[in-house]
């Protein structure tokens, strides 16, 4: 039997050892090969020699010895050391030869080299960990992508809602725009027909809003529009609609009304509410509306028709003096048609050379001599004759034709100056009014230079008149424009001085040459102490700033005497000459027309 056990030990594919008192007493060949010991050299060695260090052996001994001495088996994996110091991973199982007498019987050890297996397990674990990490990363990436997608969907929905809102609402006031208004008017008309009721479209425009916007800036103008929108919303019922359809144009849709009295009631409330003072950016402002009203079914049964008739009635209200309301009538329709016809004819007037320039003399008071002329545009209508600027200039500003007309006036005035100069006449500067739109044009300076060059006219013979309210709009850009114009040699005057919102700090910085006192202060100068005081103050201010002063609208000798005594430099008005064609100016210069002094 012993021989059989020995044969098993010799041929076993696992390492087997017997130890007593920590020494190897017997080992099989496989164990010797496993640890790299020659045959017969491992037996007798302290079992510590197969461990990487004494510390490793001591640690293992403190764990296994108590168990083995109790007759218990141990099973563990450990780093083991070959004779040459190289390490491998071993799986060790140990038990007492006789569990009943563990201390005397010794310990049998079974050792397997599981290095490759351990590496495979580690590699498998590494692959598994890497796979799990990739799965986690992919899961996290999918979660983030899903969250991003959900956020994008939510953002897109918000954007779509915003776009839909903007497509149907005014971005400044948040009110419905024209598109939504037309839709609601159509719906209101359908419901009115079904119920046998009516509805009203109330079209309103803010009187002289442009003056506020130009003089105080778009920030104040926008603030005023938003304040107006809030007040309008307070006037109407929740079932009504307040819309903004243009710059300073609003429309109220009054649905399901009994008749005209309901519209009158709302229009009166609008007039009263909008005419109350506004406080916008430290400015106390007043503004009034002009209102046009169209009723269904009387004035139309389609949205476009009703809106157009209310618009026409609004323009009729403006023509009646503003700050009032007017219902649409056939007369209003005729006036609207006439206005449209005039707009078309005005386009033709520019193209067909129907515009004319008349010149009004300006007189130096001290010597009673001609100091300058002011170029005033007229329209030589082929059927209506001479049309004054008061009839077509506002329309030109609304339609944008003011740019073409203004350019023509500048060119024609300079051309006429050149003609007089070539003929040897004693030419004086010509003053040309610039509209607010012209003055804010980016190429104004270059345009003026081209016109002067084309006419071969010295710059000092051209004077540009700019209203006070225009100059006070966007003062930084205004100063830059004025400085560029002044550097070219043209003269600059402030027209209608006293009617705007001038800042003395800016006035001191502006490179201007003249102040023109508005005719409204001159009219009653010899009878109204307030007007007289204002004129004295303006003249005193001009003198302190080194500016010339021109008084407009002088029609009586009393006015002229007062201005002369007060120190006014120049005057202009019917007393000294009405606007006249070029040949009239030539006679004036030649002394055919006498000047009162």
For residue range 181-192, list pLDDT tens digits in order.
999 999 999 998
How far from 23 is each of 30, 50, 339, 410, 474, CA to CA, in Å? 18, 11, 125, 123, 105
Same domain, 448 and 586: yes
Q: Does one domain contain both 105 and 221?
A: no
The pLDDT score that the predictor gives to residue 503 is: 58
Last residue of a domain, one of 113, 131, 150: 113
Q: Which residue has the higher pLDDT, 2 or 394?
A: 394
Q: Answer with the one of 70, 91, 113 that is the final residue of a domain.
A: 113
Burial letters for 48-75: b for 16+ Cβ neighbours within 10 Å, e otherwise? bebbeeeebbeebbeebeeebeeeeebe
Task: With respect to residue 172, please indicate whether it lies within any of the assigned structural domains.
Answer: no
Q: Are 84 and 189 in a shared domain?
A: no
Q: pTM for this structure?
A: 0.55
pLDDT tens digits for range 195-229: 889 999 999 999 888 878 877 888 899 999 999 99
Do you find a cis peptide bond into 297, omega within 30 degrees of 0? Answer: yes
Is 145 contained in some domain? no
**Average pLDDT value for residue range 324-351:** 80
Secondary element (H or E) of residue 401: none
Which DSSP letter does residue 367 get? T
Of 271-275, 333-337, 431-435, 574-578, least confident by mean pLDDT is: 333-337
Q: How many domains does the chain have?
A: 3
Co-location of 425 and 496 in the same domain: yes
Structural domain for 92, as ranges: 2-113
Taking the alpha carbons at both ends of the chain, their separation in whole angstroms is: 160
Query: Do 215 and 473 touch, CB atoms closer than 8 A?
Result: yes
Class of residue 7 by CB neighbours under 10 A (exposed 0-12, middle 13-18, buried 19+): exposed
Asked if 229 and 309 sit in the same domain, the reply is yes
pLDDT band at 371 (very low <50, low <70, confident <90, very high): very high
- Contacts of residue 399, Cβ cutoff 8 Å, sequence gap at least 6: 343, 346
263 and 404 belong to one structural domain: no
CATH of residue 100? 3.30.450.20
Q: Are residues 321 and 410 in the same domain?
A: no
Residue 592's pLDDT is: 41
Q: What is the mean pLDDT of residues 147-171?
A: 81
Q: Is 338 a member of any domain?
A: no
Q: Are residues 459 and 542 in the same domain?
A: yes
Question: What dihedral angle (degrees, nearest 10) is formed by the CA atoms of 400, 403, 405, 407?
Answer: -170
Residue 242 counted as domain residue? yes
User: How long is the chain?
Assistant: 597
Last residue of a domain, one of 77, 93, 113: 113
Q: Is the residue at 66 inside a domain?
A: yes
291 and 368 part of one domain = no
Residue 490 within a domain? yes
* 122 within a domain of the structure (yes/no): no
Cβ contact 205:314 at 8 Å = yes
Helical H segments across 169-240, by residue range: 178-195, 209-216, 218-235
* b/e 258-290 (16+ beta carbons within 10 angstroms → b): eeeebbeebbeebbeebeeebebeeeebebbbb
Same domain, 72 and 193: no
* CATH at residue 258: 3.30.70.270
Q: Please tell me the distance from the alpha carbon of residue 197 to that of residue 8, in angstroms, as a whole number.
A: 117
Same domain? 209 vs 324 = yes
Q: Are 419 and 583 in contact (CB under 8 A)?
A: no
Determine, yes or no, domain membership for 165.
no
Tell me the pLDDT band of 501, cut-offs 50, 70 and 90. low
CATH number at residue 551: 3.20.20.450
Please tell me the distance from the alpha carbon of residue 459 to that of residue 340, in angstroms, as a whole number: 39
Q: At what angle do helices 402-422 and 389-399 cross, to 10 degrees?
A: 130
Are 97 and 204 part of one and the same domain? no
């Amino acid at each position: 039997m012993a021989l059989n056990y020995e044969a098993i030990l010799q041929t076993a594919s696992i390492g087997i050892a017997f130890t007593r008192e920590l020494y190897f007493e017997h080992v099989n060949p496989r164990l010797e090969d496993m640890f790299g010991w020659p045959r017969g050299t491992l037996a007798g060695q302290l079992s510590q020699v197969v461990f990487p260090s004494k510390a490793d052996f001591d640690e293992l001994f403190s764990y296994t010895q108590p168990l083995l001495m109790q007759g218990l088996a141990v099973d563990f994996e450990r780093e083991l050391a070959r004779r040459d110091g190289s390490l491998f991973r071993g799986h060790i199982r140990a038990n007492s030869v006789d569990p009943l007498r563990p201390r005397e019987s010794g310990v049998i050890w079974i050792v397997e080299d599981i290095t490759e297996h351990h590496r495979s397990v580690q590699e498998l674990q590494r692959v598994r960990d890497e796979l799990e990490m990739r799965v986690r990363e992919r899961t996290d990436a999918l979660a983030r992508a899903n969250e991003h997608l959900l956020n994008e969907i939510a953002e897109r929905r918000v954007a779509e809602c915003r776009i839909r809102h903007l497509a149907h609402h005014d971005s400044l006031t948040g009110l419905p725009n024209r598109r939504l208004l037309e839709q609601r008017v159509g719906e209101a008309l359908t419901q009115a027909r079904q119920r046998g009721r009516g509805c009203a479209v109330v079209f309103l425009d803010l009187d002289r809003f442009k003056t506020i916007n130009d003089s105080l800036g778009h920030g104040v103008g926008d603030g005023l529009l938003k304040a107006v929108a809030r007040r309008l919303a307070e006037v109407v019922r929740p079932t009504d609609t307040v819309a903004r359809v243009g710059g300073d144009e609003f429309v109220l849709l009054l649905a399901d009304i009994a008749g005209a009295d309901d519209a009158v009631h709302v229009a009166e409330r609008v007039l009263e509410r909008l005419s109350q003072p506004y406080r916008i950016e430290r400015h106390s402002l007043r503004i009034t509306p002009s209102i046009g009203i169209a009723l269904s079914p009387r004035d139309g049964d389609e949205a476009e028709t009703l809106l157009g008739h209310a618009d026409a009635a609004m323009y009729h209200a403006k023509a009646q003096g503003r700050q009032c309301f007017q219902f649409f009538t056939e007369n209003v329709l005729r006036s609207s048609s006439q206005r449209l016809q005039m707009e078309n004819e005005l386009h033709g007037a520019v193209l067909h050379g129907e515009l004319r320039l008349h010149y009004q003399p300006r007189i130096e008071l001290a010597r009673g001599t001609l100091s300058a002329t002011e170029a005033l545009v007229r329209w030589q209508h082929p059927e209506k004759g001479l049309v004054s600027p008061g009839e077509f200039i506002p329309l030109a500003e609304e339609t944008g034709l003011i740019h073409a007309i203004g350019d023509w006036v500048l060119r024609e005035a300079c051309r006429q100056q050149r003609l007089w100069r070539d003929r040897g006449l004693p030419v004086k500067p010509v003053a040309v009014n610039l509209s607010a739109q012209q003055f804010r044009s980016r190429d104004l300076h270059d345009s003026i230079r081209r016109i002067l060059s084309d006419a071969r006219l010295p710059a000092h013979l051209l004077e540009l008149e700019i209203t006070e309210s225009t100059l006070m709009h966007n003062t930084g850009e205004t100063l830059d424009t004025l400085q560029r114009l002044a550097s070219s040699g043209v003269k600059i005057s402030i027209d209608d001085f006293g009617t705007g919102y001038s800042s003395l700090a800016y006035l001191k910085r502006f490179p201007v040459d003249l102040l023109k006192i508005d005719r409204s202060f001159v009219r009653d100068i010899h009878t109204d102490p307030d007007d007289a005081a204002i004129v004295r103050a303006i003249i005193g201010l001009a003198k302190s700033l080194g500016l010339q002063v021109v008084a407009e609208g002088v029609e009586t000798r009393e006015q002229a005497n007062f201005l002369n005594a007060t120190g006014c430099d120049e005057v202009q008005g019917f007393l000294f000459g009405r606007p006249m064609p070029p040949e009239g100016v030539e006679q004036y210069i030649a002394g055919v027309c006498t000047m009162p002094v």
